[in-house]
């Protein structure tokens, strides 16, 4: 059943960061119940691509979770939740700070029912401090972590990542922190409140901030390295690009030979690393002129590989999607779709985040909205008529 | 002592990804012994910035670890390691696949000494498959995960992140996976081999790959949103930029009022979201013209905040470094430097990755190379003369 067999999770999250954390717990066998807003559910149910009226995106973010619709603004809704808490090991929530308290489901209240709960709050700016109630979007996390300021061309504007970086790193961070707390709970019986911030997560990855200690404010510098040349992205024909990483003299000299430019090895402009850094633009020009001779960039790439020059193609998503190494390692798996998607039985999706020799993760299908209302509410003593009454009441708002 | 009190880790990693994982374990109280190459040590000891001849970067990546120098190519070196293994819960290593086997310290061999070990291997392309022995750099992980292809201006080349994204995400992923396996070990007594790949990690974050299921290959599209306008980065004077996220009609209309352009609300080019998406470039022009009136971008930002328009400044690293919210939440902490740095007692560094109400993480100082040779080797029964002999022998190679 997986490493988290027997662990019960209540997932009050939405959009991307929180759901990703709960989905990871599900991969490893936790019993995750997602509490969703009646009628509309998690916003990510509307994220593209949409197939047969259902989101493939939600098929990933809410994989392996049961779905129960509950109106948390109704005391009858929170009373139901409170019946689940004694059986729950981990709560994840991603409301704006203060909202769970308004529902009567804040950490302190939940603790009075189950003192050893692990309660993970995911927000943009954290639970405390002057910015804590500010609206948070992935883009704001990218901007306020300094990450955009160090990404992009030197002469151009700051650049966002094409990833929803704040959300996905935040989800992994929430998962990592929950697992650390879970180990500690297993060892000591003690739970706690875990405060995860998307902005904080990206700052944690931004090591260049520490250069401010010596008076340096790192700036964006495009696709090349300030103190290593040639090392970066080089453009060929028809929008094709490759990476070349000539990390030492021997590799640099092999590159000169592959390009048919052995004279560059002894050119005083390029012979020593410092020279190559000083004349980086000229050197980039030579390399791109060489690449520009080939219609298919795989041809020079092959030559580089044969010469032992670290290099690779810059993959687009189709390259990623079809790569046999990635499929063979289960980085991309054939995964089940959610109910309601009828034009495909499976889709190719990102599989578990890591390989485990004994207890590999499993991608289980996402649920339709409210699919588990009866199963879960009956398990906690609600008769069918009562479930019908509550769901009808909650659906009206 | 922290959540991982009593957990012993042997850290055979170098550079960034692996060291970050071990450092996280140290934050939470694990006893981490870093095994380093004699004389030179971990490469990250040379990463800038350098202060008093020592790397501030290594002060972060190897915080809280003991340092012991061992020549793993010498059977006397691996014999010493094998004495430590019975006491070790977690091994992390980041050699190219196959190298630990050459040392006689692969998972199977270690398992024969301690069957319940958790053994985390961090590499560029994973332990299995056709690419597993390829050289791996952060830039190659960014390129081969598709992440660069979706980052950058629509008309420009693919763009790398200013973060060493593959390394830092890989480090967090390794930590998360080790903690999941550690919980499982505590619950069942079973260990396992964990396979972490930097390329895989970035693919795991690249959700747009799943659009290939419906025949869409996502492309880079700069700083704006294809189906939400205005939502993105807007440039003002003197290289200052802000984010505006007008996620609904009400916010869009507030933005028009703040700009003193109420007529745009009813302009057929901008009234409905679809119109705004179609005329996005024109709209961006209006917003940037408005911003361009202000020498200090904080002035229009204040107006946006007062009107409830989600927005923020695009921080540079100095902004991050000095932000009171970040300092107050311990996202940046005054941290101890390593021995040998004499011109400062502390530096401002990224603190633990998350807030824990009962067992917060602690940033402990990094060690000088080989600082714990005597302490650790004596603990495992080596007399002083024997340690001197081995270290002298290992220093010669």
Q: Is A71 found in the same domain as A122?
A: yes
User: Model confidence over B192-249: pLDDT tens digits?
Assistant: 999 999 999 999 999 999 999 999 999 999 999 988 999 999 999 999 999 999 989 9
Is B212 inside any structural domain? no
- Res. A397: pLDDT tops 90: no
Nearest CB to B129 within list A182, A187, A328:
A328
Q: Is A164 found in the same domain as A25?
A: yes
Annotated catalytic residue within B71, B106, B167, B195: B167
User: Model confidence over A48-86: pLDDT tens digits?
Assistant: 999 999 999 999 999 999 999 999 999 999 999 999 999
Is A196 inside any structural domain? yes
Is A113 inside any structural domain? yes
Residues from chain A contacting residue B292 (CB–CB below 8 Å): none
Q: Is B308 found in the same domain as B358?
A: no
Q: Is A115 found in the same domain as A64?
A: yes
- Report the complex ipTM: 0.97
Q: Is A375 found in the same domain as A338?
A: yes
Residue given tokens 């205005």 in the structure block:
B230
CB A145 within 8 A of CB A166: yes
Nearest CB to B319 within list A146, A153, A347:
A146
For A21, which residue in chain B has the nearest alpha carbon?
A: B176
- Residue in B159, B175, B217, B338 to test binding to A, most A beta-carbons within 10 Å: B159
| End-to-end alpha carbon distance in chain B | 38
DSSP 8-state symbol, A209: G
Residues A211, B49: C-beta atoms closer than 8 Å: yes
For A160, which residue in chain B has the nearest alpha carbon?
A: B223
Is A300 inside any structural domain? yes
User: Model confidence over A254-269: pLDDT tens digits?
Assistant: 999 999 999 999 999 9
Percent of chain A beyond pLDDT 70? 100
Is B323 inside any structural domain? no
Residue A374 belongs to domain with CATH number: 3.40.50.10540
Per-residue pLDDT band at B136 (split at 50, 70, 90)? confident
Is B159 inside any structural domain? yes
Domain termination site, one of A315, A346, A364: A315
- Res. B47: pLDDT tops 90: yes
Its domain, for residue A64, covers 8-206+329-396
DSSP state letters, A45-95 = GGPSPEETTEEHHHHHHTBTEEEEE--TTSHHHHHHHHHHGGG-SEEEE-S
Average pLDDT of span B176-183: 98
Distance from CA of B373 to the nearest CA of A (A): 29
Distance of CA B386 to the CA centre of its chain: 39
Q: Is B334 found in the same domain as B306?
A: no
Is A224 inside any structural domain? no
Q: Is B62 found in the same domain as B16?
A: yes
Domain termination site, one of B280, B315, B350: B315
Residue A300 belongs to domain with CATH number: 3.30.1540.10
Q: Is B190 found in the same domain as B43?
A: yes
Element containing residue B56 per DSSP (H, E): helix B56-61
Number of domains in chain B: 2
Residues from chain B contacting residue A224 (CB–CB below 8 Å): none
Is A162 inside any structural domain? yes
3-state helix, strand, coil in chain B (%, to 5): 45, 15, 40
- Res. A305: pLDDT tops 90: yes
Distance from CA of A56 to the nearest CA of B (A): 8
**A:B CB pairs within 8 Å:** 430
Q: Is B238 found in the same domain as B381?
A: no
Q: Is B91 found in the same domain as B156?
A: yes
Q: What is the pLDDT of residue A247?
A: 87
For helices A17-27 and A165-188, what crossing angle results, to 10°?
A: 50
Distance from CA of A179 to the nearest CA of B (A): 6
Q: Is B335 found in the same domain as B310?
A: no
User: Model confidence over B367-390: pLDDT tens digits?
Assistant: 999 999 999 999 999 999 999 999
Residues from chain A contacting residue B196 (CB–CB below 8 Å): 354-355
Give the residue among A245, A257, A126 at the shortest CA–CA distance from B351. A126
Catalytic residue list contains B167: yes
Domain termination site, one of A285, A315, A345: A315
Residues from chain A contacting residue B130 (CB–CB below 8 Å): 324-325, 328
Q: What is the pLDDT of residue B367?
A: 98
For helices A384-396 and A75-84, what crossing angle results, to 10°?
A: 130
Q: Is B304 found in the same domain as B334?
A: no
């Amino acid at each position: 059943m997986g490493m988290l067999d027997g662990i019960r999770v209540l997932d009050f999250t939405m959009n991307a960061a929180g759901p990703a954390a709960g989905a990871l717990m599900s991969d490893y066998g936790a019993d995750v119940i997602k509490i969703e807003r009646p009628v509309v559910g998690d916003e990510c149910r509307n994220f593209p691509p949409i197939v047969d009226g259902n989101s493939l995106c939600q098929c990933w973010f809410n994989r392996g979770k049961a779905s129960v619709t509950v109106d948390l603004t109704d005391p009858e809704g929170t009373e139901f939740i409170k019946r689940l808490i004694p059986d729950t090991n981990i709560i994840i929530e991603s409301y704006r700070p203060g909202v769970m308290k308004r529902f009567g489901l804040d950490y302190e209240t939940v603790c009075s029912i189950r003192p050893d709960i692990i309660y993970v709050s995911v927000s943009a700016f954290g639970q405390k401090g002057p910015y804590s109630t500010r609206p948070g979007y992935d883009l704001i996390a990218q901007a306020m972590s300094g990450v955009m300021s160090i990404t992009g061309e030197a002469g151009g504007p700051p650049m966002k990542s094409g990833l929803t970086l704040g959300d996905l790193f935040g989800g992994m961070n929430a998962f990592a922190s929950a697992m650390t707390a879970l180990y500690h709970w297993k060892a000591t019986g003690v739970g706690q409140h875990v405060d995860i911030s998307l902005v904080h997560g990206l700052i944690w990855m931004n090591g260049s901030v520490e250069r401010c200690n010596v008076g340096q404010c790192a700036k964006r510098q495009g696709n090349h390295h300030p103190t290593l040349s040639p090392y970066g992205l080089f453009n060929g024909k028809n929008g094709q690009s490759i990476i070349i990483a000539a990390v030492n003299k021997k590799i640099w000299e092999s590159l000169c030979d592959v390009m048919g430019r052995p004279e560059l090895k002894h050119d005083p402009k390029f012979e020593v690393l410092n020279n190559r850094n000083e004349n980086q633009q000229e050197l980039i020009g030579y390399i791109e002129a060489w690449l520009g001779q080939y219609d298919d960039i795989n041809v020079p790439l092959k030559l580089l590989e044969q010469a032992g020059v670290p290099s690779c193609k810059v993959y687009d998503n189709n390259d990623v999607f079809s790569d046999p190494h990635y499929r063979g390692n289960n980085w991309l798996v054939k995964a089940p779709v959610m109910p309601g998607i009828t034009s495909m039985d499976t889709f190719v999706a990102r599989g578990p985040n890591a390989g485990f020799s004994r207890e590999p993760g499993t991608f289980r299908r996402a649920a339709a909205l409210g699919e588990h209302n009866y199963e879960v509410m009956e398990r906690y003593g609600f008769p069918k008529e009562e479930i019908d009454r509550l769901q009808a009441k909650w659906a009206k708002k």
